[in-house]
Amino acid sequence: MSDNDIMTLEEVAAYLKVKPQTIYTWAQEKRIPAAKLGKEWRFKRSIIDAWFNQHIDEKFSKIVQANSGTEDQNK
C-alpha cells in the first residue's frame, strides 16, 4: 500500500487497530481527516499518517522532553 492510497473506513480501522464504529464517529465529528463520497467515507493514507503522528507528538511531547532532560543530566 503506498502513501497515496485511498482507504475505506474499515481499512483505516484495521490500520489504526480500532473499531470501525470509532472511525465512523471520528469522521462524523471531523476528528479525523476524511472525505465523504456519497454515503461512503474515504481516507488518504498519507494524511492519516500525518494526523496520527501529530496526535502522538502532541500527546507524548512532555514525556519526550522530560526524558531528554533526564538524559542530559546523566551525561
What's the pLDDT tens digit per position in 29-59?
Answer: 999 999 999 999 999 999 999 999 998 877 7
Model pLDDT for residues 2-33, shown as the tens digit of each residue: 656 999 999 999 999 999 999 999 999 999 99
- Between 63 and 17, whose confidence is greater? 17
pLDDT at 69: 60
Domain boundary assignment for the chain: 6-74
Residue-level pLDDT at 55: 86
> Which DSSP string corresponds to the chain?
--TT-EEEHHHHHHHHTS-HHHHHHHHHTTSS--EEETTEEEEEHHHHHHHHHHHHHHHHHHHHHHHHHHHHHH-
Q: CATH number of 6-74: 1.10.10, 1.25.40, 3.40.190, 2.10.25?
A: 1.10.10
Considering only residues 66 and 75, tell me which one the structure prediction assigns the higher pLDDT.
Answer: 66
The pLDDT value given to residue 22:
98
Q: Position of cell 532532560?
A: 69
